[in-house]
Structure 1
């Protein structure tokens, strides 16, 4: 169980996040010849077990769980979900029981992949459901079924994106005030972009790079901002061209870019679900002249840590 907190203490102090996350400049000739400065916002270094935007999105939900007395946290994800891993790790560190509803009933009984194995090691109970059932993950009736099965619990949506998570991501935008002209982030569910854009100052722009195809994300971001703030906030847009075939898909173009970027900057291999797609988008847009000469563009690194600050 988690240690008792002193009266008035933040129940998440035990997680010891590194905030604000550091900024790292990258010298890249493709940006330099266009007069554009590239920064990395190293959200992957906020916490070793809750990497990237997972800390910002989970923290408000974890705080609510601690303050309301729930001892079980239930959430949803795919077989390689970073959100599931972060939730499981947070549960272990805070002494909370965690349940992960996993898309793919056929996975039950098979050896766990490294991501799900880590969840299990951190104490998460994995509940595999068919994809047809998983599509009901936002339905109150399905939540009631889960409560009957697993008992009283707090439910966090897939990816951690809800109104509380969006408000938690406002701090990301605030940390970038006065530091950049464009703040760019790879998007899965849109919660990080929705909150970050709200935290930026007037004159700064948020840019989202969806990692899934389908063109639905704009509506999701707007809905999240309505839920969190009552209406739109900030100046943001989406660049839909760089999903590379869909979630976790690695095209030949993306593979070549990731290998080249790592070699240019003497980095370990780029994380390809989010980070490489974001950097590919920013590099391509810069070469197309999308950013004003003299401007600063910041890539928010939301994936697992892939290189130290040097």
Structure 2
């Protein structure tokens, strides 16, 4: 069995003044920070301990952490440091990427591992077009995953170009629900460029970051289960735990990391069973609105998150 390459991850959070804007229940910056913290927690829950660097940036760069091996203590330190950051000024994307690339290359084993930069931003930069031209040189051998935050998305087309130049994909935390408008998920582009795939998942080792991103928004009922199931695109099996709805009694198989899931029938919180099991993942197709979703086989009775109709189950794809 081939050993998984070491992961060197840089999380960069835009802390410029524009991130103070409130598009939903919190500011863009607060949503980005929550998402970044969820990323670290999701990696820990999966037993992954990559080298991590965290940057908050505006007209000056502040290194919150790293490069450091991810641990519970490191994640807690990052959370405390980010809680004291106050957005101000403007942000230079060029300076940020240069510093992020520097941090990624400093981690132990960086030359042998995979380097990825996850950039939380609202896309408002004065130097964006210039950075796109320089990205292949600045980020040589690395992948960039811009995560668009908020509803002021004037820079989204340029961010698509930037991601393509750096062999990454653009993600989107959404505008209202923070789940419905994902532009893509973290995936292994292999040089093929950016892909707008909605709620489809890539096969990159950062798939658990996508899991965390799906959890950043407010409770979304049935949509919550659909989003999380979608993240297992092309995977025949996944580690799961069984959960029971304490209100209606229905059981579902969900990945053990998703402890905040809700019953898609009545929206009640789901309780976690003690024994984890392995369960297959398959395709579902809504007979009413014809939307297709990846879903865990134990949850095939769940209603379509689009129209509420009962979902049918197709054969698993291996």
- TM-score, with structure 1 as normaliser: 0.28
Q: Kindly indicate which of the two structures has a greater share of residues assigned to strand.
A: 2
Return the TM-score normalized by structure 2. 0.27
Relative contact order, CA 8 A, sep 6+: which one is greater?
Answer: 1
